[in-house]
Amino acid sequence: MPELPEVDALVGFLRERAVGAVVAELELASFSVLKTFDPPASALSGLQVVGVARHGKMIDLDVDGLHVVVHLAKAGWLRWSDQLADKRLKLGGPIAARLRLDAGDGPHVGFDVTEAGTRKGLAMYVVRDPHDVPAIAALGPDPLEPGFDVRPLVRGRRMQVKRLLRDQKVVAGIGNAYSDEILHAARLSPFQIADTLDDEQLDRLQTALHDVLTEALQEAAGKPASELKDDKRTRMRVHGRAGEACPVCGDTVREVSFADSSLQYCPTCQTGGKLLADRRTSKFLK
């Protein structure tokens, strides 16, 4: 799933290529992907892209006051082309939608929004204000905004710190991968209850949030969309690396599996050497 650093890089990529171009058409190959009907997608045609922004993990194209908001969800991606095919999209294929743009020499450039797998979560919105998208209206603070402080966000929250970091209503932009990386850098168990964190642990979490995301943002910036997925994988220290050696202490990175996801952690760095129970087979937190 693309998270804050990759989405921010996609926004920068689109800002360089799409701003100033005129929308020729928003073509849909999956009618369920567009979650709004007023204004209609056809209202975009002939309008100019004047800006691109990020809200959490969502991309927002400002098209002369109308907004195309894209949430790539778990398996979505954005694929730019400098020479789009002329033929119409086929219904039911891997391409869910295409935004065709005219940069001055005809409607040949633009991007496809794709989604792999059978579980469909990709969503697009055409709205007059990005806050008309419920998920944007409910977003918590962005962790890279000046003055962000995680400390007040954990108070009174009887939830696991891993879950807290992934809750978009609490903190915007962090998903499964970067929450693993942040907790590893902060030397915290993913299952620790948020409001039991002491001052030292909160300081480590605050520092890890800033450092991990800032480093990832810097690494992703300027890379073309086609390289961002592989680049993200190579930068992970524990996420997706179960069975490998922890780069900090050398212990074996372990995994906890759930029904439809998993997390990775280092026992030595994060849990005092204790192994966490696999949630597919145990109802208890170890």
pLDDT tens digits, residue range 125-140? Answer: 999 999 999 999 999 9
Judge contact between 141 and 170, C-beta under 8 A. Answer: no
Could you identify the residue written with the tokens 């409910």? 138
Mean pLDDT score of the chain, rounded to an integer? 93
pLDDT bin (cut points 50, 70, 90) of residue 278 is confident
pLDDT tens digits, residue range 13-35? Answer: 999 999 999 999 999 998 899 99
pLDDT tens digits, residue range 73-108? Answer: 988 999 999 999 888 898 878 899 999 999 998 899
In this prediction, residue 279 carries a pLDDT of 64
Q: 3-state class of 71 per DSSP?
A: strand
Tokens encoding 276: 């966490």
Angle between helices 4-18 and 225-235 (to 10 degrees): 160
Closest CA to 171 of 182, 123, 185: 182
pLDDT tens digits, residue range 187-244? Answer: 999 999 999 999 999 999 999 999 999 999 999 999 888 899 889 999 999 999 999 9
Q: What is the mean pLDDT of residues 49-61?
A: 98
pTM (2 d.p.):
0.93
At 215, the amino acid letter reads E
Residue 286 pLDDT > 60: no
Query: What does the angle CA 25 – CA 30 – CA 33 come to, to the nearest 5 degrees?
Result: 90
pLDDT bin (cut points 50, 70, 90) of residue 285 is very low
pLDDT tens digits, residue range 156-169? Answer: 999 999 999 999 99
pLDDT bin (cut points 50, 70, 90) of residue 70 is very high
Q: What is the mean pLDDT of residues 111-119?
A: 84
Between these two residues, 261 and 58, which has the higher pLDDT value? 58
Residue 260 pLDDT > 80: no
In this prediction, residue 232 carries a pLDDT of 92
